């Protein structure tokens, strides 16, 4: 497998910062080297032609000067040739000045924009003007700086959210521990329980963040094997049986007989499905039903967790798989569905969600089917 960014590999894929719909130098198997050589050839031809015309102008000027002093023949034809050469040379110089002025402004803007980005000003944008290659480069630089600015904003938001999520359990641990140390509370199981619970919350948050970091960096290891869908679904639902009975919710499964095994990591997938069932239980109505469906779709397996609960607010639904996004009644960290998305995408699949207040929520996992063995 080739390494390096896609615009160097020449595999035809668009870099994430290049504007969508804008043709790039990697299209058709090209790469930056070929693109650069094409530009260099154009510049070389222009410079070479301008140099030849400039030499002809020098020749014409020298000929006219020599003929003025009688050093060479001043025949009309020779004089006409010299004047023509001089005029062409002057025109070449004028064209060169115009071309350089046309290139100087956009190139200067690109250099200034690059310096601002290097200095940390991610709001820098450059005007899109000049020849097509420079316009493409300007659009790419603007898209890149926009993406970097969005990522920086997102990074700061994530750090603020992490700090917020850490604050509550740490406050509980500190408050309980200080009360026990000061003799206000006895060090018995009742007063140690909040400390244990807060510690478990911290451990879950750290594990979730570690999973998200691995998924984002491409370092999430998957131990793939064929996963029997019916067994996998039954085992996962069985783990939530007691919780569902306590909540008055019925857990059911409907897996088609012809569904092939999933090509996936059973441990990771168990966490994904468990996360979805746990979320459904948290928002289920008493007497409601949670159903897990499994069907085949070509070379994919579709797993859907469907509930008849309160539903996801319409304004939250488009962002429901983003980090730290959660509804006002949610008690979790807001990382669960983000982990679901990242783990499923690491398998090469995708996840979608539909929800209404009347019908509840359905989250569908699209996972690769195992090759027939």
Check residues 32 and 186 and name the one with the higher pLDDT: 186
Separation between Cα atoms, residue 211 and residue 252, nearest integer Å: 29
Residue 157 lies in a domain: no
Do 233 and 212 have their domain in common?
no
Check residues 293 and 11 and name the one with the higher pLDDT: 293
The mean pLDDT value for 175-184 works out to: 90
Spatial CB neighbours of 223, under 8 Å, sequence gap ≥ 6? 265, 267
Do 364 and 231 have their domain in common?
yes
Residue 49 has a CB neighbour count (10 Å cut-off) of 13
> Which segment of 47-56, 68-77, 79-88 scores lowest on mean pLDDT?
68-77
Query: 31-41, pLDDT tens digit by residue?
Result: 445 555 555 56
Query: 249-267, pLDDT tens digit by residue?
Result: 999 999 998 899 999 999 8
Do 300 and 275 have their domain in common?
yes
pLDDT value at residue 304? 95
Residue 373 lies in a domain: no
Do 213 and 229 have their domain in common?
no
The mean pLDDT value for 97-114 works out to: 72
Q: Which of 90, 121, 147 is the last residue of a domain?
A: 147
Task: List the domain range (segments joined by +) for residue 254.
Answer: 225-368
Asked if the model's pLDDT at residue 248 lies above 70, the reply is yes
Asked if the model's pLDDT at residue 75 lies above 70, the reply is no
The mean pLDDT value for 293-309 works out to: 92
Do 79 and 140 have their domain in common?
yes
Asked if the model's pLDDT at residue 187 lies above 80, the reply is yes
4 phi-psi bin (left φ>0, alpha ψ -120 to 50, beta other): left
pLDDT value at residue 6? 43
> Which segment of 50-59, 115-124, 154-163 scores lowest on mean pLDDT?
50-59
The mean pLDDT value for 125-142 works out to: 79
Share of the chain above pLDDT 90, in %: 19
Do 363 and 247 have their domain in common?
yes
Q: Confidence class of residue 350 from pLDDT cuts 50, 70 and 90?
A: very high
pLDDT value at residue 69? 53
Separation between Cα atoms, residue 174 and residue 168, nearest integer Å: 10
Separation between Cα atoms, residue 297 and residue 369, nearest integer Å: 9
Spatial CB neighbours of 237, under 8 Å, sequence gap ≥ 6? 251, 253, 277, 292
Q: Where are the beta strands (DSSP E) in 174-273?
A: 225-227, 250-255, 262-264
Asked if the model's pLDDT at residue 351 lies above 90, the reply is yes
Provide the token pair at 188. Answer: 């018995």
Residue 153 lies in a domain: no
Residue 301 class from Cβ within 10 Å (0-12 exposed, 13-18 middle, 19+ buried)? buried
The mean pLDDT value for 349-362 works out to: 88
pLDDT value at residue 30? 45
Do 293 and 198 have their domain in common?
no
Residue pair 147/161 in contact by the 8 Å Cβ criterion: no
Into how many domains does the chain fold?
A: 3
pLDDT value at residue 26? 45
Q: Confidence class of residue 364 from pLDDT cuts 50, 70 and 90?
A: very high
Residue 32 lies in a domain: yes
pLDDT value at residue 225? 93
pLDDT value at residue 293? 94
The mean pLDDT value for 266-277 works out to: 90
Average pLDDT, the chain: 77
Residue 154 lies in a domain: no
Separation between Cα atoms, residue 349 and residue 303, nearest integer Å: 11
Give the residue carrying structure tokens 């329980």: 193
Task: Compute the chain's Rg from CA coordinates.
Answer: 34
> Rounded to the nearest 5°, which phi and psi values hold at 367?
-125, 150
Residue 156 lies in a domain: no
pLDDT value at residue 36? 53
Q: Which domain CATH number covers 307?
A: 3.30.565.10
pTM: 0.58
Do 13 and 91 have their domain in common?
yes
> Which segment of 4-13, 48-57, 116-125, 360-369 scores lowest on mean pLDDT?
4-13
Do 109 and 135 have their domain in common?
yes
Do 95 and 189 have their domain in common?
no
Residue 266 lies in a domain: yes
pLDDT value at residue 256? 92
Residue 307 lies in a domain: yes
pLDDT value at residue 229? 94
Residue pair 237/251 in contact by the 8 Å Cβ criterion: yes
Check residues 137 and 229 and name the one with the higher pLDDT: 229
The mean pLDDT value for 24-35 works out to: 48
Asked if the model's pLDDT at residue 116 lies above 90, the reply is no
The mean pLDDT value for 323-340 works out to: 74
């Amino acid at each position: 497998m080739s390494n390096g960014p896609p615009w160097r590999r020449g595999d035809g894929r668009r870099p994430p910062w290049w504007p969508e719909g804008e043709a790039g130098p990697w299209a058709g198997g090209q790469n930056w080297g070929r693109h650069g050589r094409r530009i260099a050839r154009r510049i070389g031809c222009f410079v070479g032609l301008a140099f030849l015309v400039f030499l002809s102008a020098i020749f014409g000027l020298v000929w006219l000067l020599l003929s003025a002093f009688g050093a060479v023949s001043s025949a009309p034809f020779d004089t006409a040739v010299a004047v023509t050469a001089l005029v062409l040379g002057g025109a070449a110089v004028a064209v060169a000045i115009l071309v350089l002025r046309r290139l100087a402004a956009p190139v200067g803007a690109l250099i200034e924009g690059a310096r601002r980005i290097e200095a940390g000003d991610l709001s820098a944008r450059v005007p899109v003007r000049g020849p097509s290659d420079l316009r493409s480069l300007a659009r790419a630089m603007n898209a890149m700086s926009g993406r970097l600015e969005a990522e920086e904003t997102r990074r700061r938001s994530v750090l603020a959210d992490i700090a917020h999520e850490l604050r509550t359990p740490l406050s509980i641990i500190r408050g309980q521990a200080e009360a026990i140390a000061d003799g206000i509370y006895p060090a018995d199981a009742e007063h140690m329980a909040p400390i244990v619970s807060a510690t478990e919350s911290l451990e879950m948050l750290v594990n979730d963040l570690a999973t998200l970091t691995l998924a984002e960096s491409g370092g999430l290891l998957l131990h793939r094997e064929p996963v029997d869908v019916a067994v996998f679904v039954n085992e996962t639902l069985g783990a939530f049986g007691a919780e569902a009975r306590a909540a008055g919710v019925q857990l059911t499964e409907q897996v088609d007989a012809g569904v092939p095994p999933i090509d996936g990591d059973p441990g990771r997938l168990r966490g994904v499905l468990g996360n979805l069932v746990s979320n459904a239980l948290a928002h289920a109505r008493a007497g409601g039903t949670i159903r897990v469906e499994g069907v085949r779709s070509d070379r994919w397996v579709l797993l859907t967790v469907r509930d008849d609960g309160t539903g996801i607010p319409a304004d939250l639904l488009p962002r429901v798989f983003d980090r730290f996004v959660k509804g006002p009644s949610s008690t979790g960290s807001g990382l669960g569905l983000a982990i679901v998305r990242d783990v499923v995408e690491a398998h090469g699949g995708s996840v979608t969600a539909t929800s209404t207040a009347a019908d509840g929520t359905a989250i569908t996992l699209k996972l690769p089917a195992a090759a027939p063995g």
